[in-house]
Amino acid sequence: MKSFFPQLSIPNFSFNGVARKLPPKGILTLLDQGIFSLGNFFTSVLIGRYCAKEELGLYLLGFTIIYFLMDAQSAFITTPYTIFIPRKAEAEKSVYTGNTLFMQFGLAFVIALGIFIFPIILPASLLPEGMIPVLTSLAIVTVFLLLREYTRRLFFAQLKMKNALLLDVTIIVIQIILLVVLLYLQALSATTAILMIGITSGMVTIFWLYLDRNEIRFDRKLLRRDFNQCFQAGKWVFASGFLWNIGTYLYPWLLTSFKGTAATGTWAACLGIIALCNPVYLGLQNYLSPKIAHAYANNNKVDLRKFTIKSTAAFAGLLGICSVVLILFGGYFLVLLYGGKYAGNGIIISLLAVNLMLVAAGFSFSRAFFTLERADVDFKVNIVSLVVLFTFGLWIIYNYGILGAALGLVAGNAIALMLRFGFFRRLLS
């Protein structure tokens, strides 16, 4: 058994030593997500306000690919890690961490190679105009972006919210400075923004992982065991997430196909306003996912049921408040932040705010299925969402464009919420 990182001669600086000086986990998780979301939101506003709608559309298409890949990584590596790390003995935790990091690097390099090859084998006429440079930039930085996401999830699973906060603050500060420099040099575009975000994320993440190296050990003898555990736990999580991602991230691609990248740019701007809720939405997700796993660490279904119901009520309630604000003022915020060219889309933001409440209400049920190692249940639910997309969704997007995409999302997630609640009652009654 050996350290995952080589023992270079640098000052003995402890990540955890700095982290202990910061303040309570739930607040820190929300604060971290606020910082993380600020970077993404700031980038979206810069591109939307100072570049053409088409550039914002291309930026969104590029990040739908990244989000899809992050969810695949989460299914096979970080979700199983979150489920099993509370059950590991203290002596096993560092080895499990090192082995999952090894798996993460392998998966990320395979993905990056696939993105690089994809535009070569696919006729350019099948891709939106301007998409090939975006794919090239993704091929260069995918390993870095996935590594950052892995590291964040690692810290959340270990309930080290302070570490995640330090990581994200460092990245976001550098990222914002460099994006402003790009804007000043009149070099800001979807392609350059993705490159800058990826390179910044990679360099800072590698540095912080090295500082935390004493808790990361690689053991080749246990790699196969850990791989099998992750694969067995993750295969249904991946299958479920794959369907959910298609049912969510395919909407901007369908909009591009039917209405062009300018329409997708407007869709991206509306999603950017919804992202104002991300500090609460994603922060609570990051906090609740490991908490749900810890609630079931002793195989106690009663504790799991109580905590899941309690967290669902809190999550939906907080997101409900945020959504009401966006329903009332979202159209105003859209014009204020992105500019007058996006005016007249208040109804789209209202529908997307309703969709946010529906997704939030179903989140804890979904994570309870994963914790019970019954991701196959969530998979069945997501089949229904996919059916909605390829029937009602296709028709309504083709005929009503952005409005149709918003209505399709609401319909699919409303049905999915009802099904998740029904299955949850059956499994934990």
- Is 143 within 8 Å of 202 (Cβ atoms)? yes
- The number of folded domains in the chain is 1
SS3 string, 231-250, reads HHHHHHHHHHHHHHHHHHHH
pLDDT in tens, 395-418: 999 999 999 999 999 999 999 999
Determine the Cα–Cα distance for residues 385 and 369; give it in Å rounded to an integer.
17
Residue 8 belongs to some domain of the structure = no
- Is the alpha carbon torsion for 199, 201, 202, 207 positive or negative? positive
Residue 6 belongs to some domain of the structure = no
Domain containing residue 74: 15-422
Residue 429 belongs to some domain of the structure = no
Residue 1 belongs to some domain of the structure = no
Work out the pLDDT band at 24, boundaries 50, 70, 90.
Answer: low
pLDDT in tens, 172-227: 999 999 999 999 999 999 999 999 999 999 999 998 888 878 888 888 888 888 88
**Amino acid type, 282:** L
DSSP 24: -
pLDDT in tens, 133-176: 999 999 999 999 999 999 988 888 887 888 888 898 999 999 99
Residue 9 belongs to some domain of the structure = no
Q: 17 is written with which tokens?
A: 């030593």
Q: 144 is written with which tokens?
A: 């870095």
Residue 345 belongs to some domain of the structure = yes
Determine the Cα–Cα distance for residues 328 and 308; give it in Å rounded to an integer.
30
pLDDT at res. 5: 46
Residue 104 belongs to some domain of the structure = yes
DSSP 125: G
> Over 70: is that where the pLDDT of 9 sits?
no
Determine the Cα–Cα distance for residues 408 and 248; give it in Å rounded to an integer.
10
Judged by average pLDDT, the poorest of 12-21, 94-103, 123-132, 252-261 is 12-21
Of 178, 193, 187, the closest CA to residue 138 belongs to 193
